[in-house]
Amino acid sequence: MFRYIALRLLTALPIVAFVVVFIFLMLHLAPGDPAALVAGDNATPQQLEAIRARLHLDRPLASQFWLWLVQLSQFDLGQSIFSNQPVAALILKRIEPTLMLAICTMTITVLFAVPLGVLAAWRSGGGVDRFVMGLSVVGFSVPVFVVAYSLVWVFSIKLGWLPVQGYKPLAEGIWECLRGLVLPSITLSLGLSALVARVTRSAMLEILSEDYMRTARAKGAGLMRLLVVHALKNAGVPVMTVVGISFAVLLGGVVVTESIFTIPGIGRLTVDAIQQRDYPIVQGVMLFFSLVLIAVNLLVDLSYALFDPRIRY
């Protein structure tokens, strides 16, 4: 396994190098003068020169890239243009809300969608199967903001059970933290549940038609053991792939949901940075998301052996 991990990490190095180069060139490939975009229309020539010097735009392109690589090697993502705070510190402050939202969303998704997918496969072609697939179509079709505002109207405005917006840190208590994440987690889990349920159903249908499943049924295996131990475990590889990639996307920041519920996560940080043209933050967030996606893909690959014993590294 260690050899496999080392090879996977070596394979990821060219991807990381490409991402680093692309993120760096993104500032220079954008139309217009970056310094003028940051300073605004009423900026004086002196202010433009100061911004160019601060962003090292007054140096040759190769020199700028080398300076950025040196900063990255020291885990320095630069400083925000408007807040003058280190970009790495700003990202670390926003990780907790996004991470908690991602964990709650995936927990609800797995607990809700996987049993529905298993049930739909077991009763394939029946009323339960059609009901689950109908729910999946609804989950795919309804926009996120419609679900969000509908939940807010019912559970916050009419019933008053849950807060409308905001986020409470874990330091203020786990219940207060989770209470503010119920509505955004349900909002995000609706679309993800539709995807996971469909993938689970398709994988289970293929497994249930295998010869060893008929043998286990003939030997008198119970329904729960048949579905969970023999079928679901072997169908776990595609399900785990979808869950892992979805979790990585959530960690990258869910812009619409975080904006609706005023959650100070990575998504809100990215939107604010783009609106303010704070290029160091945009570059830092994109690099962070790329590395997270690569790391999650590696963990998903390593988890395959837990579900399918035939897989060896």
Domains of the chain: 2-73 (no CATH), 91-307 (1.10.3720.10)
- When pLDDT is cut at 50, 70 and 90, the band that residue 222 belongs to is low
Q: What b/e string do you get for 205-235 counting C-beta neighbours within 10 Å, with b at 16 or more?
A: bebbeeeebeebeeeeeeeeebbeebbbebb
State the virtual CA torsion across 287, 293, 294, 299 in degrees, nearest 10.
150
Contact 266, 91 (CB under 8 A): yes
- Over range 285-311, report the average pLDDT: 77
Residue 226 vs residue 14, higher pLDDT: 14
Token pair belonging to 269: 């940080």
Query: Which backbone phi and psi does 79 adopt, to 5 degrees?
Result: -120, 145
Going by pLDDT thresholds of 50, 70 and 90, the confidence category of residue 305 is low
CB atoms within 10 A of CB 5: 13
CA angle 103, 109, 114 (to 5 degrees): 130
Helix, strand, coil distribution of the chain in percent, nearest 5: 75, 0, 20
Segment 2-23 mean pLDDT: 78
To the nearest 10°, report the CA torsion of 117, 123, 126, 129.
Answer: 0
Mean per-residue pLDDT for 107-124? 84
What are 223's two structure tokens? 């329904």
User: Which of the four pLDDT bands, split at 50, 70 and 90, describes residue 39?
Assistant: low
Structure confidence by residue, pLDDT tens digits, 54-89: 766 667 777 778 887 887 777 777 777 777 788 888
pLDDT tens per residue across span 95-104: 888 888 888 9
The dihedral formed by the CA atoms of 122, 102, 263 and 249, expressed in degrees to the nearest 10: -100
292 has pLDDT over 80? yes
Q: What angle, rounded to 10 degrees, do the helices at 87-122 and 174-208 form?
A: 40
H/E element, 217: helix 211-218
Residue 313 has pLDDT above 60, yes or no: no
Q: What CA–CA distances, in Å, run from 261 to 97, 159, 161?
A: 12, 17, 15
Name the band, by pLDDT with cuts 50, 70 and 90, for residue 229: low
Tally of CA atoms within 13 A in the half-sphere of 186 that contains its CB: 14
- In this prediction, residues 180-204 reach a mean pLDDT of 85
**Mean of all residue pLDDT scores within the chain:** 78
